[in-house]
């Protein structure tokens, strides 16, 4: 699943490629992707004639701002956007096409069809689900040691599970949680409530660093992720533990172990993370 850095890279790509374009037609081929409004035809009609003014991001969500509406898009496991110029055949995994007045089009492609779209009146997107349930981004000013320490005291869950909870902090996924906890020297199975402020501070600081570094590299292309211009992320070459099962730990040279925490595959060095 694309995490914050990958979604941010898609945002940057869309900003360059589609802002200022006016939609002439929308075609929805897989209606279940559109959650609000529930009627596919209403979704298509509402967007017709709208100019795409800007693109924002909150956690793992893209927010496409139009004249009168805001479109909230979650890519989930395999969602992607592609720009097409002129008449090109529709890919079998393309489920929504936004055609612009200049003849170009934005294709939403999703092999697994898990992605979602919510269309709200402009300004109402943050007052409704899914955005109103999200915690702060790891790169927001609200993601502080005190904020996280307070959150950890409220739960008996393990630290990895807490960091993956989008209502606590929005944008982390499996890749960057594993990397953050390794760099902070914290075992992913530690109970959040057992961590002292100094340890929480390390997690917050390393989490922000990891996310910012990954954003600068355009995210990580682990499987099929790419930006709307077709380019791929580069941060996968800088990962310390994620996907490195059996390889030597970069710090102690002992093998990285893959286990499960909360049902999620987890990469950890049992010697460097306590």
Is 114 within 8 Å of 79 (Cβ atoms)? Answer: yes
Within a 13 Å sphere around the CA of 5, how many CA atoms are in the beta-carbon half? 26
Residues 6+ apart with CB under 8 A from 145: 197, 200, 201, 204
Query: How far apart are the C-alpha atoms of 132 and 141, rounded to whole Å?
Result: 18
Q: Which residue has the tokens 């960091």?
A: 163
> Closest Cα partner for 114 from 144, 141, 79?
79
107 assigned ligand-binding residue: no
Give the catalytic positions in this structure: 2-3, 60, 264
Look at residue 250 and give its three-state secondary structure.
coil
112 assigned ligand-binding residue: yes
Is 81 within 8 Å of 104 (Cβ atoms)? Answer: no
Token pair of 252 as six digits: 């102690």
**Residue 103 main-chain phi, psi, to 5 deg:** 95, -15
Query: Exposed, middle or buried, 135 (CB in 10 Å: 0-12/13-18/19+)?
Result: buried
DSSP state of 32: G
Query: How far apart are the C-alpha atoms of 65 and 52, rounded to whole Å?
Result: 6
Token pair of 202 as six digits: 């390390």
Write out the binding residues for DNA.
93, 112
């Amino acid at each position: 699943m694309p995490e914050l850095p990958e979604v941010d890279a898609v945002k940057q790509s869309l900003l360059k490629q589609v802002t200022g374009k006016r939609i002439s037609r929308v075609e929805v081929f897989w209606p279940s992707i559109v959650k609000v409004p529930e009627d596919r035809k209403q979704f298509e009609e509402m967007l017709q004639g709208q100019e795409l003014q800007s693109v924002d991001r909150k956690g793992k969500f893209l927010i496409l701002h139009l004249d009168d509406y805001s479109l909230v898009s979650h890519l989930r496991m395999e969602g992607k956007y592609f720009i097409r110029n002129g008449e090109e055949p529709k890919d079998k995994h393309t489920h929504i096409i936004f055609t612009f007045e200049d003849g170009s089009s934005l294709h939403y492609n999703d092999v697994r069809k898990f992605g979602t779209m919510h269309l709200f009146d402009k300004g109402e997107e943050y007052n409704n689900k899914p955005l109103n349930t999200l915690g702060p981004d790891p790169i927001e000013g609200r993601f502080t040691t005190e904020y996280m320490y307070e959150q950890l005291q409220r739960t008996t869950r393990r630290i990895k599970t807490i960091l993956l909870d989008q209502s606590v902090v929005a944008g982390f996924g499996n890749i960057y949680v594993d990397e953050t906890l390794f760099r902070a020297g914290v075992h992913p199975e530690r109970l959040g409530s057992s961590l002292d402020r100094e340890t929480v501070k390390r997690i917050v600081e390393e989490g922000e660093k990891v996310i910012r570094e990954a954003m600068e590299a355009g995210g990580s292309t682990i499987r099929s992720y790419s930006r709307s211009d077709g380019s791929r992320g580069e941060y996968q070459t800088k990962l310390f533990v994620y996907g490195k099962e059996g390889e030597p730990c970069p710090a102690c040279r002992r093998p990285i172990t893959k286990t499960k925490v909360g049902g999620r595959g987890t990469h950890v060095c049992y010697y460097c993370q306590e």
